Amino acid sequence: MEWTVLSSIDRVISMLTMKRLPVTMSMEQFAAFSEVRFEIDIHEMFVDEALTLLRNIVKHCPKQLEQIYVIHGYRSGQALQQALTVSNLRSKRIRSVHPAMNPGISVIEFKSEENHG
């Protein structure tokens, strides 16, 4: 039970200190990004625009990347949320796409480096 409490606290601290990736970041800058998780806010984008951005990010993401928290919004972000699927993102590196505890956020989970290819 103690471990569960500590892992929950660690998860909250991780969420509070997570870096937000600017949507204007170049792929060269992104390739040098050293985080294992980050968030990106797409809730003001059209579905096609958001999927193109996320596909590029997934295609060029560093090998150590574990998760991307995608902020799509809740009330007006349902089209974006529904478009966030493994098949729409088109990458063998993605393990899953699932909702976060916040209904306005989805999480893209990556396979570990040794388990993709």
Q: What is the pLDDT of residues 48-63, one digit of tens each?
A: 999 999 998 888 888 8
Q: CA 65 to CA 50: how far, in whole Å?
A: 19
Give the 3-state secondary structure of residue 19: strand
Tell which phi-psi region holds residue 73, choosing left (phi > 0), alpha (psi between -120 and 50) or beta.
left
Strand 67-71 with 19-20, pairing? unpaired
Confidence tier at 13 by pLDDT (50, 70, 90): very low
Collect contacts of 18-26 with beta carbons under 8 A, ≥24 apart. 18/69, 21/57, 23/53
Count of other CB atoms within 10 angstroms of residue 83: 19
Topology of 27-115 in CATH? Ribosomal Protein S8; Chain: A, domain 1 (3.30.1370)
> Average model confidence (pLDDT) for the chain?
79
Res 48: pLDDT: 95
Q: What is the pLDDT of residue 57?
A: 87
Q: Are 93 and 110 in contact (CB under 8 A)?
A: yes
What share of the chain has pLDDT > 70, as a percent? 74
Full-model pTM: 0.77
CA count, 13 A, side-chain hemisphere, 97: 21
